[in-house]
Amino acid sequence: MRARARREIRLQSRRRKCLFLYHYQIHPVFGFMHARIQTWFPFAIRICLNGRSWPAWSMDAAGLRHVQCDNCFTWLEDPVRAQQLMDAQLQAAWPELLTAIARDLNPLHDAMFRDWPIEYYWSTYQSEWATDLLFRDRAALAALYPRLVQPGMTTFGSPDVLRFLGGKVMPDGAVPPRLTAAVTSDLKHRPEGVRIKHRSGENTIKMYDKQGRVLRGETTINDVAAFKTFRAPAPRPEAEPSWQRMRKGIADLHRRSEAAQAANQGYLRALAAVDEQTPPGRLAGELCRSVTWPGRRVRALNPYAADDGKLLATISRGEFAIAGFRNHDLRQQLFADADAPEDVRRRHAAAVSRKPTLPRAHGLIQKVQGTHRYQLTNQGRVTLTALMTARNVGTAALTKLAASINLRRLRGF
């Protein structure tokens, strides 16, 4: 109780009802888990499942040997089979499994609601989806991870974080002016390693190393408003499916996992391209030479010239990483001529139709077969990520990083 006169809080024993009841158990499917039930109407239930405890329980049942440390696996006897058991989680009969847990928490449910039968509507309050890259050699991860930390904090800006987490950006790549959610990045040193976290509103994507063997990318989704799912509209289930706002209910749990996995893969691939060891000067030099394609001369590219630099920055934008881009997309980015006169827009359209030839001839992009879209090649992704990183990082930061690398070499690291 609060003693206002003395400005202190005193502990006082008092009989009162329990607001929540917690139940811990080893479930035959989920493994170790816990659930919480509210002790007053409407008896809300919150269930917490550990995504690593579940496959560990499944591998034990299947006779697959593994080594689990904390919340990750550092050794797997059969990684392919282990991944199949992980994927089977998405095929679980969620309503039946969760309702059975609810009945264990409140055995009197049917009697209490005999006259007004009602069942629980299950939704996902919070989900964490991790992508683990398991290294055979601790030294390999120890050498790689510091090279990812620096670009992870200096390369990805607020628009990049929005793209990773399903958000939209302006045609010119800027953050939407009406965006009210905070978009931040931070780095934290922990006893087990260094963690980088990017936040967009209530959703986050982060990277960290665990147990010296696992590189983890992890997406946490609390707010599904930024994501879409392909389904029929809820009021009209007979209508043609279309992209609708993702729901919190377990019906969209599979799509939630796809969105989180895409975020993890996009983030880790972007970092993998940033870690390319070829000096940016050599990559730029290869572009600054004319090429023959196919059978005719195509001029050199200048990554640091205004026009060519803007073209390269445009085709390397994050929103084009999965679906690619069309000439219309390039026109929106390069000219932003929606309000221009018709004759001006026609000239711009004609100019844009020639733009893909340059990066295509230099091997940076390729045509998607059967479509009017282009995508970055693997070499294009590596080259453009390195060049954009060098262009965005200030001279002082590059000088400091180079001095740090030279010092490490002198010390024999």
Does residue 161 sit within a domain?
yes
Same domain for 271 and 150: yes
Same domain for 269 and 128: yes
Total number of domains in the chain: 2
Q: What is the CATH number of the domain that holds 390?
A: 1.10.10
Q: What's the whole-model pTM score?
A: 0.67
Same domain for 288 and 270: no
Same domain for 130 and 269: yes
Mean pLDDT of the chain, nearest integer: 82
Q: What is the CATH number of the domain that holds 219?
A: 3.30.530
pLDDT value for 98 = 95
Same domain for 314 and 200: no
Strand partners, 375: 366
Same domain for 295 and 157: no
Check if the beta carbon of residue 184 is closer than 8 Å to that of residue 196. no
Q: Alpha-carbon distance 33 to 49, whole Å?
A: 5
Kindly provide the residue ranges of all beta strands, DSSP E only, lying in 20-147, ordered along the sequence.
20-27, 31-38, 45-49, 66-69, 72-76, 127-134
Does residue 340 sit within a domain?
yes
Same domain for 271 and 285: no
The range of the structural domain enclosing residue 336 comes to 280-411
Same domain for 293 and 202: no
Same domain for 207 and 316: no
Same domain for 376 and 263: no
Same domain for 257 and 130: yes
Does residue 240 sit within a domain?
no
Task: Going residue by residue through the chain, which has 413 residues, state the pLDDT in tens, using 9 for 90 and above.
Answer: 667 777 787 777 777 677 899 999 989 888 889 999 998 888 999 999 988 888 888 899 889 999 988 888 999 999 999 999 888 888 889 999 999 999 999 999 999 999 988 899 999 999 999 999 999 888 888 888 887 876 777 667 777 788 778 777 776 667 777 777 778 888 887 766 678 898 988 999 999 888 888 999 999 999 998 888 888 888 888 888 888 999 999 989 999 999 999 889 888 887 876 555 566 666 677 788 888 888 889 898 888 788 888 888 888 876 676 567 888 888 888 887 767 788 888 888 888 888 888 899 999 999 888 888 898 887 887 788 777 766 655 444 444 444 443 433 333 33
Does residue 217 sit within a domain?
yes
* 212 dihedral zone (left: phi>0; alpha: psi -120 to 50; beta): left
Same domain for 219 and 130: yes
